[in-house]
Amino acid sequence: MKKLFETYDLSRRELRNRFVMAPMTRARRPDCVANEETATYYRQRASAGLIVSEGSFVSPEAQGYIQVPGMWTAEQVAGWKLVTEAVHDAGGTMFAQLWHVGRISHASFQPDGQAPVSSSSQPVDDPRFKVFAYKDDGSQGRIDPSPPRALETDEVARVAADFAAAAGNAVAAGFDGVELHAANNYLFEQFLNPAINDRCDRYGGSAENRARFVLETIDAVIAEIGADRLGTRFSPYNQDPDKQDTGWVEETYHYLADQLAARKIAYVHFNDSWTTGEPALDDAFLKTFRTHFPGTIILAGRMTFDRAEQLVREGLIDLPAFGQLYIANPDLVERYRDDVVVVKPDSDTFYGGGSKGYTDYPRAVDQPSS
């Protein structure tokens, strides 16, 4: 039998297979509260061994995208409970991804129209990173982030506490655990990356200092819900190679790996950015990281079945994560198992809108035979 169809022990939770549905923003909730349709969307995909939810903002300050369900109010917790109950009823396991975008935000999202927060006051100058917001004419679309302000040293603990509170909310909502979103140039990575982080306090300079914020947050979350309910997502080499030096990456992430191994968290989830048209996280990186972190490793990024099977068999990763394929193939596991055609999603319906491109993709068994 193929390795991907085997069960897997994730921190004493038996996953029905090794397939992971990667977190994907879908922007379908104008009130920022998950609802019955959100529950339907995830229930349709519950044959995955593990589902990681779309990023859920931990506070109003954390927002950078419209129509995304949050995790800071009682109403939001009740909405997410609909989702977790649906997934569990279908036999699935689900972690909530907790998110703070940092400087990739806009003043229109911020309390009292203030500047977004970050590790520094450096503005975003990479055209890849935009804010999904309401434009001046009322339409939805991508706009430039507002210039940020640097968090004061004594403010950092407040943000860590927001994550811990959101983690407690996620468990109250029925999630099996949470994943800290420390990837894709959002707030945690803005501290990890010395090209952005120019601080002179205990959160800047050395790899240990730049990693301090994410580790303090991890410790706060562990104190709230336990290490076995916690994973984290990273994206090493997710910088534009023409603009940024990546010589700091291995030292920083190996240090993090050692620290996370000591804390015995549930997993580390990598998002491979493929910035040069090839995997940024090559076999050598994964092999070396494994020597620092012996726990569960998840990898996402242009994943195919054959690549996933090979990486698992070679012991470079434990669980492969599939993103866009899960949008159009709610029964992705069954399609691969039964050798059924895997279809491509409609990119025009990735963000915003209604049921079209969200809950209307059929399972293979429901499609009429030709």
Q: What is the pTM of this model?
A: 0.96
Secondary structure (DSSP) of 260-278: HHHHT-SEEEEE---TTSS
For position 242, what pLDDT does the model report? 46
Q: Which pair of structure tokens corresponds to residue 238?
A: 């997710």
Beta strands in 30-157 (DSSP E): 50-57, 94-99, 117-118, 131-134, 140-143, 149-150
Max Cα distance, the chain (Å): 65
212-225 helix and 249-263 helix, angle to the nearest 10 degrees: 20
What Rg value do the Cα atoms of the chain yield, rounded?
19
Q: Which residue has the tokens 């970050």?
A: 118
The rounded distance, in Å, linking the Cα atoms of 196 and 344 is 36
Q: Which residue has the tokens 């291995």?
A: 250
241 vs 214 pLDDT, higher one: 214
End-to-end CA distance of the chain: 30
Does the pLDDT value for residue 37 go beyond 90?
A: yes
249-263 helix and 283-292 helix, angle to the nearest 10 degrees: 40
230 in Cβ contact with 180 (< 8 Å): yes
139 vs 105 pLDDT, higher one: 105
The rounded distance, in Å, linking the Cα atoms of 181 and 163 is 10
Does the pLDDT value for residue 68 go beyond 80?
A: yes
Question: Pairing between strand 230-234 and 177-181?
Answer: parallel
pLDDT digits 0-9 by tens, 138-196: 888 899 999 999 999 999 999 999 999 999 999 999 999 999 999 999 999 999 999 99
Q: Which pair of structure tokens corresponds to residue 43?
A: 């229930």
Q: Which band of pLDDT confidence, cut at 50, 70 and 90, is reported for residue 49?
A: very high
Q: Which residues are catalytic?
A: 186
pLDDT digits 0-9 by tens, 283-307: 999 999 999 999 999 999 999 999 9
Integer CA distances (angstroms), 219 to 17, 116, 192, 230, in order: 29, 24, 17, 10
The rounded distance, in Å, linking the Cα atoms of 177 and 104 is 26
Q: Which pair of structure tokens corresponds to residue 307?
A: 């690549």
Q: Which pair of structure tokens corresponds to residue 180?
A: 């800290």
Name the DSSP letter for residue 111.
Answer: G
The sign of the CA dihedral 299, 302, 305, 308 is negative
79 vs 276 pLDDT, higher one: 79
The residue count for the chain: 370
For position 238, what pLDDT does the model report? 81
For residue 158, what are the contacts with CB-CB under 8 A and spacing of at least 6? none
- Please name each of the domains of the chain with its CATH number: 3-366 (3.20.20.70)
The rounded distance, in Å, linking the Cα atoms of 92 and 49 is 7
Any bridge partners for residue 300, and if so which?
271, 321
Q: Which band of pLDDT confidence, cut at 50, 70 and 90, is reported for residue 126?
A: confident
